[in-house]
Structure 1
Amino acid sequence: MLGQSHAVSGALIFAATASFLPEALLGKELRPGEILVGTLLCAGAALLPDLDHHDATPANLLGPLSRGLCRLVGKLSGGHRHATHSLLFVALVSGGTWWGVTRLGDGFTLGVTFFLLALAARALHLHPPGHGLTAWVTSVGLAGVGTATVAAWFDGIAGWLPYTVGLGALTHLLGDCLTRQGAPLLWPYRRRFEVVLIRRTGSRRETRFFVPLMTVATFGALWFTAFAPRFAMS
């Protein structure tokens, strides 16, 4: 799946489950503003498994630096769609985020927030076309504004950020299971799990059907989880 598809699917899953899943797993009910922020963060987190690909959205985020990092991750993980596309990776990024927000505090929390928002901005094409300086500055600028907003108004984000990271990464895996290559969910066990609905990355079925459908569904889910309850109380 394309980076945009993964990002939109991450946003959809978070928005659709925000009214019940965080409370069931964390004992915390998210406020409308937190749902909106979490939707964007989960869209960015849904790109994390592609840290193993030298030309995916994470690789294009910071130019040569991010491409070099993704090449390194790819080599260490066995190549594209190996270790980083497993449930073990989901557990590691979730646990690592929990350790960071618990032990390292606000600096780590805001750093992860900035990174995920920048990924979301790139994947959702919230910038001028291309990979040039203007696109980079726009993505980084949007991420900076979003992070500053989180720092000023969302002091409880550390409590649900690890959940959001894990949900986004898991959504990516499930999305790749809809393609012909599947995903090795139980890595290092090599079996790949797949239910093929998308035969080719970037196909018309993906770009002209699934992405628009998920986008509309995301806005619909946000209305019911974030906006409708607020209007009902007023």
Structure 2
Amino acid sequence: MLGISHALSGAALGLAVAGFGSSLVEVPATVGSVLTFAAVCAGAALLPDLDHPSSMATRRFSWASMVASRVVRPFSALLYRLTRASRDTGRGTHRGITHTALFAVAIGMALNLASARWGEPVLLGTLFVCLALAIKGLDALVPGPPSLVIAAGLTYGVDQWVPGGTAGTAGWIGAAVTLGMLVHAVGDAVTESGAPLLWPVPIRRRRWYPVGSPRPLRFRTGGRVEALLVAPGLTLATLVLAVLVVPGASALVLEMRDHVERFLTRS
């Protein structure tokens, strides 16, 4: 899928998990914790493409992300060569280790431990990186560094002004990263190429088996199905979920509706 679809799917999943999940485990959700979780999930849904030299994840942070990509790609290729089965084909660089469930879980666990140990620096750093990726569409209007400034401003705003801030996500923010990376891989799995989600489980004599949906349900990246159905559907789902699960959002929407009705009545 295109980057915008990946980010929207991550945002929708993050809102659903943070909003409804907090009720299931009986942990009070704050505006800050829900928005932080959703934003991190949205940005993390672009991270797996760090294994592609021209992806947004690779180009987003200049030399830093390019260096990270140049580490990830040969590492993924090495793992591919060491673990491939008799029917595996390809090089294991793009849609390799970063598109697997095992890698997503490992990154998430590492971030959970780091955020529990060091707290705010890890939380703010993760939120900034993921916000910068999630708002990548702004590059069409504000090229380059200004969008990073926007991400920095939003990170500061969530931490300082939004009720609850980022503090409530310490120890579990890695779950948002894991879910974002997984929803990316699932999104790729429903396109024509598939993704090796279940590596290293052997399937049909392949350890890097490209898991995918039934062929009649697959669509081409950037094609009409994605442009006319998938992206609009994800946008609507994200907006509806935001109203449903962000504390106070539904009341704000109802208040705005009342203001509009009063204005129209006076007119």
TM-score (norm 1): 0.86
**Separation in 1, partners of 2:115, 2:225:** 39
Q: Select which of 207, 212, 235 maps to 1:215.
A: 235
Unaligned runs of 5+ in 1: none
> Aligned runs of 1:66-215 on 2, under 5 Å?
66-78=65-77, 79-122=93-136, 125-129=137-141, 134-153=142-161, 154=165, 155-188=167-200, 189-195=207-213, 196=215, 197-215=217-235
Shift in Å at residue 27 of structure 1?
4.9
**Separation in 2, partners of 1:140, 1:106:** 19
Once the two structures are superposed, what CA deviation does each residue of 1:147-199 show, in whole Å capped at 9, x if it has no partner? 21233241223143122111111111211110121111121322221004343
1:14 aligned counterpart, secondary structure: helix
1:5 aligned counterpart, secondary structure: helix
**Separation in 2, partners of 1:93, 1:45:** 11
Amino acid at match of 2:124: L
1:19 is the counterpart of 2:19 = yes
**Count of residues in Structure 1 that have an aligned counterpart in Structure 2:** 225
1:184 aligned counterpart, secondary structure: coil
Shift in Å at residue 23 of structure 1?
4.4
1:3 is the counterpart of 2:21 = no
Is 1:32–1:225's contact at 8 Å kept on the other side of the alignment? no
**Separation in 2, partners of 1:30, 1:69:** 34
**Separation in 1, partners of 2:229, 2:30:** 31
**Separation in 1, partners of 2:177, 2:69:** 18
**Separation in 1, partners of 2:139, 2:177:** 23
**Separation in 2, partners of 1:162, 1:177:** 23
Shift in Å at residue 222 of structure 1?
1.0
TM-score (norm 2): 0.77
Amino acid at match of 1:137: P
Cα 1:120–1:175 change in 2 (3 A) is same
1:126 aligned counterpart, secondary structure: helix
Larger Rg: 2
Cα 1:105–1:17 change in 2 (3 A) is closer
Shift in Å at residue 86 of structure 1?
0.7
Q: Select which of 223, 228, 233 maps to 2:250.
A: 228
Is 1:198–1:206's contact at 8 Å kept on the other side of the alignment? no
Unaligned runs of 5+ in 2: 78-92, 201-206, 255-267
